[in-house]
A and B are shown apart, each in its own frame.
Chain A
Amino acid sequence: MSSSTLSARPAVATSGTTSANASGVSDAATGPGSRYIIADRPQHGLRAALARRESLLALLLLAVFLANSILLPHFLDLDNLADSTFNFSEKALIALPMALLIICREIDISVSGILALSSVAMGLAHANGAPPEALLPIAIATGAACGCLNGVMVTRFGLPSIVVTIGTVSLFRGLASVVLGDQAYTGYPQIMADWGQGYFFGFIPREFVVMLVFAAVFAVVLHATSWGRRIYAIGNNPVAARFSGIGVNRYRLMLFVLTGAMAGLAGYLLTGRIGSTRPNIAMGWELEIITMVILGGVSIAGGAGTIGGVLLAVLTLGTVTYGLQMANIPGIYMTIVIGLLLLATIALPRLLRGRKK
């Protein structure tokens, strides 16, 4: 992307004309001069390929995988390996649209709240006699509606998405717990259990397949269509993108709705897998999902990142979690590992590059 030429002109042109709100918000995410350097022309060759986040992650994944299979006797058991994908499939489903949002310089903290609310909506509908087939549309529609609220607040009123979604996560989870009270919805129909816990060919978890299919779709959309290129353009410079004729706010709104809908879908699968809706469903997932996305090389300042990287990060984290489980180490150690991985992946390149002005 020739972002340097894109950014120079409109910035001058708009400094006097745009309202306080538009320039304030777009500056808010990164300030002048993003922390991430975008080269004028892509580098080629082995060294450049090795420096890419994706190759680092692939090596890390390989290393973790090999270490686990040497150290842990039952790690390579195919049934175990297949079952270990249950741990991350739902989160990964939300991580995909979240990656798009973050590339676009937005963020959605409210995904776990949306998930909880869609799960409650399904439970409510089921308790009032909705047919089993209607539950998936209900979950997705609830999610999309929640995402739409986020999107409208961000695009129509020009509010920073992090603040809006901190507010809406409280609202959505609050509404879920108001409906739920101290009860829980259980007794979901068999079709949900089939999708949440079931296997294709008695071996591959359906959730994992669903996740892979969506990952493929997202990868194609982001990397091979003009929609995807526009998302990068918006993330690199929203003002320049607007001036070059991209409906920036329409894209933002659409991505928020998409994230909500995917959270709804993940809610459907998660509810089917655990067979109940409780107030603490998916608590704290938003930060795990954002960690996955950032670990996958998506820049928090926007405009950079790939679906492949996110998928590799998801698989790496999944393998580490599974290894720790096999080694009988409590799950909370995993949070330390995730945190250190996140810090190391962003700090190491910076330390290696040295402090240059």
Chain B
Amino acid sequence: MMPLLKMRETQLALCIVALIALVGARAPVFVTPASLANLLTDSTLLIMLALAQMLVIVTRGVDLSMASTLALAGMMSAQLASRSPDLPLSVVVLAAVVIGLLLGLVNGYLVGYLELPPIVVTLGTMSVYRGMVFVLSGGAWVSSHQMPADFIAFPLARLFGVTHLVWIAVVVVLAAWYLARHSRFGRDLYAIGNQPSSARYVGIPIARRLLWTYGLSGAMAGLCGYLWVARYAVAYTEIAYGFEFTVIAACVIGGISIAGGCGSVAGAVLGGLFLAVIGNALPVVKVSPFWQSALTGIVILTAVLINARNGKQGGRQILPLHLNRQTGSAA
């Protein structure tokens, strides 16, 4: 029981429950099933993006181009759907994912094979992709009446009483959990993040792994691009502007170390959930929405402070601890 309580993820989950309970005590409407289901639906996009971003951050990288990729894939899928309304929805979604994948692979090639710093590469592609959204759309909006009905209806349609968005997020979470914990690909990413030179010595194909990590991040952004555009039923140049920082913030709150090699799927999910709870709770307890950004900032700073303190008590530095024990037994 105690080790479980000491886990960062458990503490964060308790924080979220406490926060929901606190808000529920002041405004009972917040804890009704409908409101909580709404909260869950609202958090899905952030959670899915945070999971992909987590894999990138674990390799000591960062993907700043995520929001721009989302916007570009979303805009292209919206245009595709509005120009050829007879196309089956699955083709449109697939197109969005493939576009995202290609955009992500560009990042992956530059970071993996050319060994360029990820922050600079994704900063560059971020501007390029965002600019391309404008070029493609000519600055025009694609609004709801131009999109086919099933295109818009899909994310919020319900299966067994739960929205498709939530089902997709569940699948993504399970896939990410399998990938991060049980696949060779995922374990390699942790190895790369913990010690790149050792990873190279044990024969991990670092460049190929990075290529597909960024590709995966792009594909996820592409999927979310479609979901975002369909959910809000509008596509324009500034979709998700600045959202990359929200995604990174969710990862940081979830205890994923920006130094790489450390982070869990549960952390990313809870981090995204935490931010979604704050966003949804503020209007309910009648706090001005202008406070949201400031509160988010305070939460991020608190989270990194707590994580840094946890980190000092152990965790990442395995070797020195081992050494200490050896010298201790010798003396």
Q: Mark A residues whose CB is within 8 Å of B.
A: 15-16, 19-21, 23-25, 27-28, 31-33, 35, 109, 153, 157-160, 162-164, 166-175, 177-178, 180-181, 283-284, 287, 290-291, 294, 300-301, 330, 332-336, 338-340, 342-343, 346-347, 350-351, 355
Q: Which residue of B lies closest to A333 (CB)?
A: B131
A164 B301 Cβ-Cβ under 8 A:
yes
B114 A351 Cβ-Cβ under 8 A:
yes
Interface residues in B102-133 by Cβ distance below 8 A to A read: 110, 113-117, 119-121, 123-132
| B: number of interface residues (CB 8 Å) | 61
A–B Cβ pairs within 8 angstroms, 25 of them: A20-B311, A24-B259, A25-B259, A27-B259, A35-B117, A153-B301, A153-B305, A167-B298, A168-B301, A173-B294, A174-B295, A177-B290, A177-B293, A287-B123, A291-B123, A291-B127, A300-B120, A333-B135, A334-B131, A335-B127, A335-B131, A336-B128, A336-B131, A339-B127, A343-B128
B258 A170 Cβ-Cβ under 8 A:
no
B305 A159 Cβ-Cβ under 8 A:
yes
**Could you say which residues of chain A place their CB within 8 Å of the CB of B196?**
31-32
A178 B288 Cβ-Cβ under 8 A:
yes
Q: Shortest beta-carbon distance, B306 to chain A, in Å? A: 11
Report how far A347 CA is from B278 CA in the complex, Å.
41
**Could you say which residues of chain A place their CB within 8 Å of the CB of B113?**
355
Q: Which residue of B lies closest to A21 (CB)?
A: B312
B126 A24 Cβ-Cβ under 8 A:
no
A28 B297 Cβ-Cβ under 8 A:
no
A342 B127 Cβ-Cβ under 8 A:
yes
Report how far A20 CA is from B321 CA in the complex, Å.
10
**Could you say which residues of chain B place their CB within 8 Å of the CB of A177?**
290, 293-294
B245 A169 Cβ-Cβ under 8 A:
yes
Q: Which residue of A lies closest to B327 (CB)?
A: A16
Report how far A267 CA is from B135 CA in the complex, Å.
31
Report how far A172 CA is from B143 CA in the complex, Å.
33
Top-10 shortest CB links A-B? A174-B294, A171-B297, A174-B293, A339-B127, A336-B131, A167-B300, A170-B297, A28-B259, A339-B128, A342-B124
**B166 interface residue (CB < 8 Å to A):** no
**Could you say which residues of chain A place their CB within 8 Å of the CB of B312?**
19-21
A284 B114 Cβ-Cβ under 8 A:
no
Report how far A259 CA is from B248 CA in the complex, Å.
23
Q: Mark B residues whose CB is within 8 Å of A.
A: 60, 62, 64, 110, 113-117, 119-121, 123-132, 134-135, 139, 196-197, 237, 241-242, 245, 248-249, 252, 257-260, 288, 290-298, 300-301, 304-305, 308, 311-312, 314-317, 320, 323
B298 A332 Cβ-Cβ under 8 A:
no
Known A-B contacts A174-B290, A332-B237; the reply to A167 vs B117 at CB < 8 A is no
A170 B300 Cβ-Cβ under 8 A:
yes
Q: Shortest beta-carbon distance, B103 to chain A, in Å? A: 12
Q: Which residue of B lies closest to A290 (CB)?
A: B123
A interface majority secondary structure: helix
Report how far A292 CA is from B323 CA in the complex, Å.
45
Given contacts A171-B298, A284-B241, 6 further A-B contacts (CB under 8 A): A16-B320, A159-B308, A166-B252, A166-B300, A178-B291, A340-B128
A330 B300 Cβ-Cβ under 8 A:
no
Q: Shortest beta-carbon distance, B140 to chain A, in Å? A: 12
**Could you say which residues of chain B place their CB within 8 Å of the CB of A174?**
290-297
**Could you say which residues of chain A place their CB within 8 Å of the CB of B110?**
343, 347
User: Residue among B196, B298, B323 with the most chain A CB within 10 A?
Assistant: B298
Known A-B contacts A20-B317, A21-B312; the reply to A339 vs B300 at CB < 8 A is no
B258 A343 Cβ-Cβ under 8 A:
no
B294 A294 Cβ-Cβ under 8 A:
no
- Pick the contact of A336 from B117, B127, B297, B317 — CB < 8 Å? B127
**Could you say which residues of chain B place their CB within 8 Å of the CB of A181?**
288, 290
Known A-B contacts A333-B135, A343-B128; the reply to A32 vs B197 at CB < 8 A is yes
Known A-B contacts A170-B297, A350-B114; the reply to A28 vs B127 at CB < 8 A is no
Q: Shortest beta-carbon distance, A143 to chain B, in Å? A: 17
Q: Which residue of B lies closest to A23 (CB)?
A: B317
A339 B308 Cβ-Cβ under 8 A:
no
A167 B121 Cβ-Cβ under 8 A:
no
Report how far A21 CA is from B114 CA in the complex, Å.
30
A350 B258 Cβ-Cβ under 8 A:
no
Q: Shortest beta-carbon distance, A81 to chain B, in Å? A: 25
**Could you say which residues of chain A place their CB within 8 Å of the CB of B315?**
20
Q: Shortest beta-carbon distance, A152 to chain B, in Å? A: 11
Report how far A157 CA is from B308 CA in the complex, Å.
8
A350 B117 Cβ-Cβ under 8 A:
no
Q: Shortest beta-carbon distance, A331 to chain B, in Å? A: 9
**Could you say which residues of chain A place their CB within 8 Å of the CB of B139?**
330, 332
Report how far A158 CA is from B135 CA in the complex, Å.
43
Report how far A196 CA is from B151 CA in the complex, Å.
49
Q: Which residue of A lies closest to B319 (CB)?
A: A15
Q: Which residue of A lies closest to B249 (CB)?
A: A166
B290 A178 Cβ-Cβ under 8 A:
yes
Report how far A38 CA is from B62 CA in the complex, Å.
25
Report how far A166 CA is from B275 CA in the complex, Å.
14
**Could you say which residues of chain B place their CB within 8 Å of the CB of A158?**
308
A342 B123 Cβ-Cβ under 8 A:
yes
**Could you say which residues of chain A place their CB within 8 Å of the CB of B64?**
287
Report how far A174 CA is from B293 CA in the complex, Å.
4
A167 B197 Cβ-Cβ under 8 A:
no
**Could you say which residues of chain B place their CB within 8 Å of the CB of A157?**
305, 308
**Could you say which residues of chain A place their CB within 8 Å of the CB of B293?**
170-171, 173-174, 177
B290 A170 Cβ-Cβ under 8 A:
no
